[in-house]
């Protein structure tokens, strides 16, 4: 298996990891009870850098994947690890897309976090009135 066949998946996952640092990783840490909202507040300051880096990483991963696929088609060879690499690219794209959704819709993120963290299953949204 050629190293270049794995490069596309690796580049995409680095991009996905960077993008998830601002939203998904802190959310997972909070849900697991390993940290507080302060971690999320700190990493959210850098979302202007992390989300574009994630998008660039995903695009670069797909470009490298397609370049390797074209090279293999030209040489009439079989591309090693193409299914795994494509699956990793799609999964990394879903991670970045989820990060973007959570960043663009903070009320949804808040409701999701409140629902996951609460023992009370009757939570249906924000209640600014103070009574349920």
Tell whether the torsion through CA atoms of 96, 53, 71 and 88 is positive or negative: negative
Tell whether the torsion through CA atoms of 61, 67, 69 and 72 is positive or negative: negative
> pLDDT tens, 24-57?
667 677 667 766 667 667 777 878 887 888 888 8
Residue 94 has pLDDT above 60, yes or no: yes
**Mean pLDDT across the stretch 66-90?**
81
What per-residue confidence (pLDDT) applies to 126?
55
Q: Is 73 within 8 Å of 31 (Cβ atoms)?
A: no
In the 8-state DSSP scheme, what is residue 79? Answer: P
What per-residue confidence (pLDDT) applies to 37?
65
Listed residue (91, 15, 27, 22) closest to 57, CA to CA: 15
- Work out the pLDDT band at 124, boundaries 50, 70, 90: low
What per-residue confidence (pLDDT) applies to 120?
57
Listed residue (49, 69, 53, 73) closest to 11, CA to CA: 53
- Work out the pLDDT band at 82, boundaries 50, 70, 90: confident
Residue 123 has pLDDT above 70, yes or no: no
């Amino acid at each position: 298996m050629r190293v270049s066949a794995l490069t596309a998946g690796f580049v995409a996952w680095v991009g996905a990891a960077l993008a998830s640092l601002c939203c998904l990783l802190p959310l997972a840490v909070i849900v697991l009870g390993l940290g507080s909202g302060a971690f999320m507040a700190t990493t959210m300051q850098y979302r202007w850098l992390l989300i574009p880096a994630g998008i660039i990483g995903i695009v670069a991963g797909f470009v490298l994947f397609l370049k390797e696929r074209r090279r293999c088609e030209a040489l009439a060879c079989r591309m090693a690890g193409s299914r795994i690499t494509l699956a990793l690219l799609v999964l990394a794209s879903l991670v970045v897309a989820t990060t973007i959704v959570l960043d663009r819709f903070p009320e949804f993120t808040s409701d999701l976090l409140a629902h996951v963290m609460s023992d009370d299953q009757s939570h249906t949204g924000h209640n600014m009135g103070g009574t349920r």
